[in-house]
Chains A and B, each alone.
Chain A
Amino acid sequence: MIPLPAGVVRQAKAAWIGKCEVTWNEYDLYAAGIGKTGAVANPKADAVSKPSHPYGAPDRGWGKDGMPAISITYQAARRYCEWLSHKTGRVYRLPTEAEWEAACRANDSEPGDIDAVAWHAGNAGGRTHPVGQKQANAWGIHDMLGNVWEWCLTKDAKGAVRGGSYRDAASAIGFRARAVYSPDWQSTDPQIPKSKWWLSDAPFVGFRVVHVE
């Protein structure tokens, strides 16, 4: 986690943002109970609802080790934060859009060569890449631009994703890049109701967390 300067997160003594996007290694601890957390059992954490078992491969067969967790709904990302908070006894949540944007802009420092900092349509080969491979921004945060769109909290119940992904042109990613859920993101989910947990057609959506004190 990377400490955020005072004032970025309002009404917090201190705050940190994920240095990287949440990986499958981290997400599967919650979603599939795979791996060891090292944390003591917590009934409240166990009580957080868990994702359904996906029919198919939400990672698109691109692999899991070190790769950003993808195809994740807004609800699933928020439940992960809830689970992580219970598990650790600390407060984790998604960033607000303002927080995300501040962390992305890093005091309006020079973003540098786009190829050096971001996976985008021009260099990603049509897929996600392990987190943290590209140069960090001035605050030490990786992959704010590109690789996967990242969920942020919004005042409505829908959330928004920011930053752009591996499938967007370099010119289309940036701190202003923003999208909201579209039915296209689940167009080939063959069930009704469609999954509350998995986006069958949005392997370009992931998230990172903030931690506040």
Chain B
Amino acid sequence: MEGQDRKEQDSAPSLSRRDFVATSAASAAAAALFATGNYAYAQGSDRIRVGVIGCGGRGTGAAMNAMLSARGVEIVALGDLFKDRLDGCLNHLRDTVKNADLLKQAPDLASRLKVTPERCFTGFDNYQKVLAAGVDMVILATPPGFRPIHLKAAVEAGKHVFMEKPVAVDGPGIRSVLASAELAAQKKLGIVAGTQRRHQNNYRETIKRLHGGAIGKILGGQVFWNQGGLWKHDRRPGESDMEYQIRNWLYYTWLSGDHIVEQHVHNLDVANWVLQAHPVQCVGMGGRQTRTGPEYGHIFDHFAVDYEYPNGVRVLSMCRQQDGTDSNVSERFVGSNGDTNAAGYIGGANAWNFSGPNPDPYTQEHSDLIASIRAGNPLNEGRQVAESTLTAIMGRMSAYTGKVVRWEQALNSQESLVPTTFQFGPLPTPPVAMPGKTELR
């Protein structure tokens, strides 16, 4: 996390656009690429036109990351449920592309922001309009509950995708994401997810060594995201349940999946990555001690989950959002031959510490996606992030019900948390889950 120079990445330094067209036109890969309609880069333009769906702070940040990630990446369309959020995003982007420090990295930065009023869309159907606005790629950064719907529409429309984590809040959503990821692979569309540790050099270099046996056979580990509470918005006069919940999306499982899914997914993703597997089953517990008021919806404020991976490997997971408590955001694994924090430290027989450049992973994830698209071999992280998200969901299901939850139970769960229709109006807050009483579905 140490600050590093964030230099603009040239996605294909050794390959001019003319070379790319000349070499790839002859290849079968290119034929497949053109057959699916992704021929924008062969038509005399290597611009990648991006639409942003979900214009909060992260969507706005991701839009800047995309513009800075490589030459020729343009933000051309914006979509958000709320006009005030969309306007705020556009204003911040217009200010930020004039930032002197960023202009040193990308002198033509201002010209990469090509949003026009005709390509700004609000309302629940904004994503459909963004997808129809002549974009090559979309950034999906709405609250997670909408992600499966938006991903499906984007892949069906033939768009590359950058999507924030988590990517669903329930079993049906995960199954949808897995199907969309498969369809994207068939259509040669890229999907990169906002589990940015996967694009962070200190993690990549360490985990590469772990996979090479640096700490021997990995026996177990612990993963943590313990911190204080997060933001909330006061209810405004006349605001419907639907609007209030979406503006306070952290506190409703149909929108965030609860904080184990929304936030702790990062650390669980590291566990799956290190162990090259997803859990077989888990048993979790948790509750709601410090955030008990209705302004905090119905989610928990702490979880502890014991995950069992193949071959009996166990990972203890803890996450907490309680003010005034000690913080810990980290991972640790122990092997037959040493230990590691997965993030630059390896102890034991093959002791090693990471050193070297560690570019901002939030920009790097876009650089990697854009480079892979331009190389005609797009990254597809859909399955990987769906599995990490389901790992978190099964932990929540176990903590909510008090039952052991097997992977297949979570994957095949019929419990759909997301409303079937979206309109501003009444939407009751579900009861707080009660282990032993809340049913596993």
A188 touches B323 (CB 8 A): no
Q: In the assembled complex, how far is the CB of residue B354 from the closest CB belonging to chain A, in whole angstroms? A: 12
- Closest residue of chain A to B6, judged by CB? A187
Q: Which residues of B contact A28 (CB under 8 A)?
A: 324
B3 touches A34 (CB 8 A): no
**A61-B329, A61-B330, A184-B4 known; A54 vs B323 contact (CB < 8 Å):** no
**A32-B324, A192-B92 known; A202 vs B3 contact (CB < 8 Å):** yes
How far does the alpha carbon of A202 sit from the alpha carbon of B230 in the complex, in Å? 21
A-B contact pairs, 30 of them (CB 8 A): A32-B323, A32-B324, A34-B323, A53-B229, A54-B227, A54-B228, A55-B263, A56-B329, A57-B328, A59-B327, A63-B326, A182-B3, A183-B6, A183-B101, A183-B102, A184-B3, A184-B6, A185-B3, A188-B3, A188-B361, A189-B61, A190-B62, A190-B362, A191-B58, A192-B57, A192-B89, A192-B92, A193-B57, A193-B60, A201-B2
Q: Is A23 in contact with chain B by the CB < 8 A criterion?
A: no
Q: In the assembled complex, how far is the CB of residue B13 from the closest CB belonging to chain A, in whole angstroms? A: 22
- Of the candidates B5, B93, B228, the one whose C-beta lies within 8 Å of that of A184 is B5
Q: Which residues of A contact B324 (CB under 8 A)?
A: 28, 32, 34
B230 touches A55 (CB 8 A): yes
Q: Which residues of A contact B62 (CB under 8 A)?
A: 190
Q: Which residues of A contact B89 (CB under 8 A)?
A: 192
A192 touches B3 (CB 8 A): no
- Of the candidates B64, B196, B326, B362, the one whose C-beta lies within 8 Å of that of A64 is B326
How far does the alpha carbon of A25 sit from the alpha carbon of B160 in the complex, in Å? 48
Q: Which residues of A contact B64 (CB under 8 A)?
A: 192
B57 touches A200 (CB 8 A): no
Q: Is B360 in contact with chain A by the CB < 8 A criterion?
A: yes
Given contacts A53-B231, A187-B3, A192-B64, 20 further A-B contacts (CB under 8 A): A32-B324, A34-B324, A55-B230, A55-B263, A56-B329, A57-B226, A58-B327, A61-B327, A61-B329, A183-B3, A183-B6, A183-B102, A184-B3, A188-B360, A188-B362, A190-B362, A191-B61, A192-B60, A192-B61, A192-B96
Q: Is B78 in contact with chain A by the CB < 8 A criterion?
A: no
B3 touches A201 (CB 8 A): yes
Chain A interface residue number, banded: 20 to 34
Q: Is B163 in contact with chain A by the CB < 8 A criterion?
A: no
How far does the alpha carbon of A188 sit from the alpha carbon of B61 in the complex, in Å? 10
Q: Which residues of A contact B263 (CB under 8 A)?
A: 55
Q: Is B255 in contact with chain A by the CB < 8 A criterion?
A: no
Chain B interface residue number, banded: 35 or more
Q: Is A37 in contact with chain B by the CB < 8 A criterion?
A: no
Q: Which residues of A contact B26 (CB under 8 A)?
A: none
A56 touches B61 (CB 8 A): no
Q: Which residues of B contact A123 (CB under 8 A)?
A: none
Q: Is B265 in contact with chain A by the CB < 8 A criterion?
A: no
Chain A 8-28, CB-CB to B under 8 Å as 1, else 0, gives 000000000000000000001
Q: Is B73 in contact with chain A by the CB < 8 A criterion?
A: no
In A166-213, the 8 Å CB interface with B consists of 182-193, 200-202
How far does the alpha carbon of A34 sit from the alpha carbon of B290 in the complex, in Å? 13
**A28-B324, A34-B323, A193-B92 known; A188 vs B1 contact (CB < 8 Å):** yes
B362 touches A192 (CB 8 A): no
Q: In the assembled complex, how far is the CB of residue A130 from the closest CB belonging to chain B, in whole angstroms? A: 15
How far does the alpha carbon of A100 sit from the alpha carbon of B252 in the complex, in Å? 48
How far does the alpha carbon of A136 sit from the alpha carbon of B1 in the complex, in Å? 32
A-B residue pair count with CB separations less than 8 angstroms = 82
Q: Which residues of B contact A56 (CB under 8 A)?
A: 227, 329
Chain B 1-34, CB-CB to A under 8 Å as 1, else 0, gives 1111110000000000000000000000000000
Q: Is A52 in contact with chain B by the CB < 8 A criterion?
A: yes
Q: Which residues of A contact B285 (CB under 8 A)?
A: none
User: What residues of chain A have their CB less than 8 Å away from a CB belonging to chain B?
Assistant: 28, 32, 34, 52-61, 63-64, 182-193, 200-202
User: What residues of chain B have their CB less than 8 Å away from a CB belonging to chain A?
Assistant: 1-6, 57-58, 60-65, 89, 92-93, 96, 101-102, 196, 226-231, 263, 323-324, 326-330, 360-362
Q: Which 4 A-B pairs have the closest CB atoms?
A: A184-B3, A57-B327, A191-B57, A201-B3
How far does the alpha carbon of A58 sit from the alpha carbon of B228 in the complex, in Å? 10
Q: Which residues of B contact A202 (CB under 8 A)?
A: 3
Q: In the assembled complex, how far is the CB of residue A157 from the closest CB belonging to chain B, in whole angstroms? A: 15
- Closest residue of chain B to A184, judged by CB? B3
Q: In the assembled complex, how far is the CB of residue B347 from the closest CB belonging to chain A, in whole angstroms? A: 14
Q: In the assembled complex, how far is the CB of residue A125 from the closest CB belonging to chain B, in whole angstroms? A: 12
B5, B228, B329 — most chain A CB neighbours (10 Å): B228
B230 touches A200 (CB 8 A): no
Q: In the assembled complex, how far is the CB of residue B226 from the closest CB belonging to chain A, in whole angstroms? A: 8
- Closest residue of chain B to A61, judged by CB? B328
B4 touches A187 (CB 8 A): yes
Q: Which residues of A contact B5 (CB under 8 A)?
A: 184
How far does the alpha carbon of A193 sit from the alpha carbon of B95 in the complex, in Å? 10
How far does the alpha carbon of A53 sit from the alpha carbon of B89 in the complex, in Å? 20
Q: Which residues of A contact B228 (CB under 8 A)?
A: 32, 53-54
A192 touches B93 (CB 8 A): yes
Q: Which residues of B contact A32 (CB under 8 A)?
A: 228, 323-324
**A53-B229, A54-B227 known; A190 vs B61 contact (CB < 8 Å):** yes
Q: In the assembled complex, how far is the CB of residue B128 from the closest CB belonging to chain A, in whole angstroms? A: 25
Q: In the assembled complex, how far is the CB of residue B230 from the closest CB belonging to chain A, in whole angstroms? A: 5
- Closest residue of chain A to B93, judged by CB? A192
- Closest residue of chain A to B64, judged by CB? A192
Q: Which residues of A contact B57 (CB under 8 A)?
A: 191-193
- Closest residue of chain B to A185, judged by CB? B3
- Of the candidates A52, A54, A192, A201, the one whose C-beta lies within 8 Å of that of B1 is A201
How far does the alpha carbon of A188 sit from the alpha carbon of B326 in the complex, in Å? 22
How far does the alpha carbon of A188 sit from the alpha carbon of B363 in the complex, in Å? 9
**A59-B327, A184-B5, A191-B58 known; A52 vs B227 contact (CB < 8 Å):** no
A191 touches B230 (CB 8 A): no
How far does the alpha carbon of A51 sit from the alpha carbon of B395 in the complex, in Å? 32
How far does the alpha carbon of A61 sit from the alpha carbon of B227 in the complex, in Å? 9
How far does the alpha carbon of A34 sit from the alpha carbon of B327 in the complex, in Å? 15
